[in-house]
Amino acid sequence: MLLKEKEIEAMYFLRQFPIDRVAVSFSGGKDSLVALHLASRIGIRKAVFCDTTIESQKVIEFVKEVETILGVKIDIVKPKKSFWELVHLLGVPSVHNRWCCPTIKFQPLNEYARKHKIEYYVTGLRREESVIRKEYKKIEVNPMLPHVIQLNPIVEWSEKDVWEYIRKYELPIPPGYENGLLRNGCVICPYKSPKELGKVKKLEPEMWERFEEFLNYYAHISGIPDKNRFIESGWRSWRPPVKRKIVGKIKVNESGIVLTNGLEKRNFKLLKILKKDDPDKLKKAKILIEKELNCIGCGACLSLCPTGALYINREGLIDVDIGKCTHCYECLNSSKLRGGCIGRNYKLEVFIVDVEN
């Protein structure tokens, strides 16, 4: 198929969706730029860029440049907690400690979609990009974006098509590619190859230096014998030394959930989520109490709630507006966020409660 035909097909595909419910999720990369340009040609004027707080400054400047050139408003959103606050609380992100995507990338995009009533995100994802993306379709559901449908108009395009399109419409070249970087996005990523990381260290020395301080610290507390190897690239497969601390006990009696052994005085707000007649109350109460005990205010779990009942309160911690809660228990779904909570899963010291049957 010729490029011209591919363009028409991509725009025809996007036209099926209600424009006022569609936004482009712009990453600052070449594929995403093409998707944004195609979307703007059919009148989609909303776009969002997530500044994960570990983006290259050049990419952020590029986002602003694209906004001016294309005349499309690109809203820049940021996570509730920055990458640096989270590394401090949860340790180095690695393939075994993957707290980063739900917190610094998808949390702001979910919040933006809810606030602006966005039902569809247009992306520049392409099958050719990686083995994982080989099976991608034009319409996808991403479990990290539970209330948004992902539209991938150029999923079948080749890299050659993308560059040809950029040249044809004289679009600006995204930064990074001239230095041999394969993709934009988070500067620090455990899925980057040692070669890519080598480039990152040269291109973003200040950010890398800041990260290296954490690497030194976590290598020290985990007793890593070969610190240099860990700092070089070994951190990508780090297994954090997690401690679990029992802080109290819970049981059920006729009046409901009873807290003992140190928890008596605590008022757990999330317990209001439980249905009065739930036969499985104790198990669910344990999850809700542990969620609250370990909450770091990252906001990642807010997207699990279909009615918007969950929110971060003035103290910066999880809370529930019980008037909006339908007791659907989606926020306890074990297949999402590994049990519905980042803090409960990834903190280095996790507070847990014992159950007394």
Shortest Å distance, C-beta 254 to ligand SF4: 23
Q: Does 343 bind ligand SF4 (CB under 6 A)?
A: yes
Q: Say which DSSP state 101 is in.
A: I
Q: Does 329 bind ligand SF4 (CB under 6 A)?
A: yes
The identity of residue 300, as a single letter, is A
| CB-based contact 95:8 (threshold 8 Å) | no
Size of the site for ligand SF4 (CB under 6 A): 26
Query: Using CB under 6 A, which of the segments 9-17, 120-128, 197-205, 300-308 binds ligand SF4?
Result: 300-308
Q: How many residues appear in the chain?
A: 357
* Residue nearer to ligand SF4 on the CB measure, 260 or 326: 326
Q: Does 309 bind ligand SF4 (CB under 6 A)?
A: yes
User: Where does the chain have alpha helices with state H?
Assistant: 3-14, 30-41, 57-70, 83-90, 100, 107-115, 159-168, 194-203, 205-221, 227-232, 281-294, 337-340, 342-346
Interface residue with ligand SF4, options 10, 23, 63, 341 (CB under 6 A): 341
Q: Does 87 bind ligand SF4 (CB under 6 A)?
A: no
Interface residue with ligand SF4, options 43, 307, 313, 349 (CB under 6 A): 307
Give the span between the Cα atoms of 294 and 52, in whole angstroms: 23
* Residue nearer to ligand SF4 on the CB measure, 183 or 291: 291
* Residue nearer to ligand SF4 on the CB measure, 162 or 289: 289
Q: Is 77 helix (H, G, I), strand (E, B) or coil?
A: strand
Shortest Å distance, C-beta 325 to ligand SF4: 3
Shortest Å distance, C-beta 282 to ligand SF4: 17
* Residue nearer to ligand SF4 on the CB measure, 35 or 301: 301
Q: Does 313 bind ligand SF4 (CB under 6 A)?
A: no
Angle at 312 between CA 150 and CA 90, to 5 degrees: 80
* Residue nearer to ligand SF4 on the CB measure, 187 or 331: 331
| CB-based contact 39:23 (threshold 8 Å) | no
Q: Does 36 bind ligand SF4 (CB under 6 A)?
A: no
* Residue nearer to ligand SF4 on the CB measure, 282 or 328: 328
Shortest Å distance, C-beta 357 to ligand SF4: 24
Residue located via tokens 């570990």: 54
The identity of residue 276, as a single letter, is K
Give the span between the Cα atoms of 320 and 313, in whole angstroms: 9
Q: Does 298 bind ligand SF4 (CB under 6 A)?
A: yes
Residue located via tokens 């209001």: 272
Type and span of the H or E element at 23: strand 22-26
Q: What's the 3-state SS for 247-280? A: EEEEEEECCEEEEECCCCCCCCHHHHHCCCCCCC
Give the span between the Cα atoms of 7 and 76, in whole angstroms: 27
The identity of residue 295, as a single letter, is C
Shortest Å distance, C-beta 160 to ligand SF4: 41
Interface residue with ligand SF4, options 273, 285, 287, 350 (CB under 6 A): 273
Query: Using CB under 6 A, which of the segments 63-71, 91-99, 241-249, 319-327 binds ligand SF4?
Result: 319-327
Binding residues for ligand SF4 (CB under 6 A): 273, 291, 295-301, 304-305, 307, 309-310, 318, 320, 325-331, 341-343
